[in-house]
Each structure stands twice: as structure tokens, then as C-alpha cells.
Amino acid sequence: MKTVRAVRLLITLVGTVLMVAMFVCIMPALASAQKAASIGKSFAQKLVEAAQANHPEVDEVGISMYTRRGCYGIASTDKSDIGEKCERDDITPMQTGKSHVEKEKDGFDVSIPLHDSAGKIIGTLGIGFKTAAGQTAASVTEAAQKIAAELEPQISSKAKLFERSE
């Protein structure tokens, strides 16, 4: 009788050890699969990267907008800006519909309203321009508006900016 109990206990322990081992082995695979599912860039991130690639006069491009958590940077060629709270120069164009231009030592920073394809303001497009001869606040604002005009027809809605793809 004691032998039967000992065998049952041994089987239970071995079964438990095997289940724990399977769990330990499967968890990294599940975590990896979950991570792989969220790896794709957002549509907004693809837009800002394409804008920078197509415009050598630009050193940074970002999109900020209001989300359920407040106003945040949702895409940027400067990865440290993604998820950062909006600054006043990001918020002003969304609220007023007017551009904000700031002269920096290394060029100009321009923030302009970003519209969806229907013309509704959905956020702010921030663009950093490298220093160039003859550059003025008016010239960089005009250049920023041209870049926005390239992007806006591709944005069917605010939600489109958050879509992920490979």
C-alpha cells in the first residue's frame, strides 16, 4: 500500500515538474509572438519617416495630437519624442489653426496644424529645418505647408494614423 502511494506521489510530482517546465518553455515563445504582433510601425511613423527622407532640408519631423490620455507625440523621426507630452508650440496650432515658428541656433522649428483628407484639424505637424542661406520664418512656414500638403491627402482619419503594418 505504501508503495502505491509513493508511486502516485512520484507521478504527481513528475507531472507537476513537467507542467512547470512546459510553462517555462512556452512563455518566451508567447511573449515573442505578442511582441512580433506589435512590431509594425504605425502609419503616422511611416509618414514622418517618408517626409524626412523626401526632404533633405529637414532634420526632424513629428506628429502630435490629443489622445484619450491627453496631448502626446505619436510619431517622430526623433524616437525620444514619441510618447512625450505636447509642448505649447504643439498645442497652439491645433487650437488656433495658425503656425508657430521658432528660430533655433541650428535652424527653424515649425509647428503647423495637421488636417485629415477632409480638412479637419487632427493634430500638429512639427518640422525642424536645417539652417540654410536666405531662410526666413515665412519661407520655412511655406515649406512646412507644402510638406503637410503631401501628407494630408493620405490621412483619411485620425484613427488611420494609429494603424500598424509591416
Q: What pLDDT does residue 165 have?
A: 75
pLDDT tens digit sequence for 5-45: 655 655 765 556 545 555 554 545 444 444 444 468 999 99
Confidence of residue 156 (pLDDT cuts 50, 70, 90): very high
| pLDDT, mean over the chain | 85
Cβ-based neighbour number of residue 133 at 10 Å:
4
Give yes or no for residue 160 having a pLDDT over 80: yes
Give the CA distances from residue 9 to residues 3, 13, 19, 21, 23, in Å, rounded to whole numbers and listed in that order: 10, 6, 15, 18, 21
pLDDT tens digit sequence for 70-126: 999 999 999 999 999 999 999 999 999 999 999 998 899 999 999 999 999 999 999
SS3 126: strand
d(CA 137, CA 35) in angstroms, rounded, equals 43
Query: Is residue 117 a contact partner of residue 156, using CB atoms and an 8 Å limit?
Result: yes
Give yes or no for residue 136 having a pLDDT over 60: yes
Q: In the chain, how many H helices and how many E strands?
A: 4, 7
**Among 57, 75, 53, which residue's Cα sits nearest to residue 123?**
75
d(CA 70, CA 27) in angstroms, rounded, equals 34
Q: What pLDDT does residue 103 have?
A: 93
Task: Please say whether the dihedral angle defined by the alpha carbons of residues 44, 46, 49 and 50, taken in this order, is positive or negative.
Answer: negative
d(CA 52, CA 9) in angstroms, rounded, equals 66
User: Span 51-57, mean pLDDT?
Assistant: 96
Task: Please say whether the dihedral angle defined by the alpha carbons of residues 71, 72, 76 and 81, taken in this order, is positive or negative.
Answer: positive
Q: What pLDDT does residue 34 have?
A: 43
Give yes or no for residue 135 having a pLDDT over 70: yes
What's the length of the chain?
166
Query: Is residue 100 a contact partner of residue 114, using CB atoms and an 8 Å limit?
Result: no
Q: What pLDDT does residue 1 have?
A: 65
Q: What pLDDT does residue 14 have?
A: 57
Q: What pLDDT does residue 37 have?
A: 42
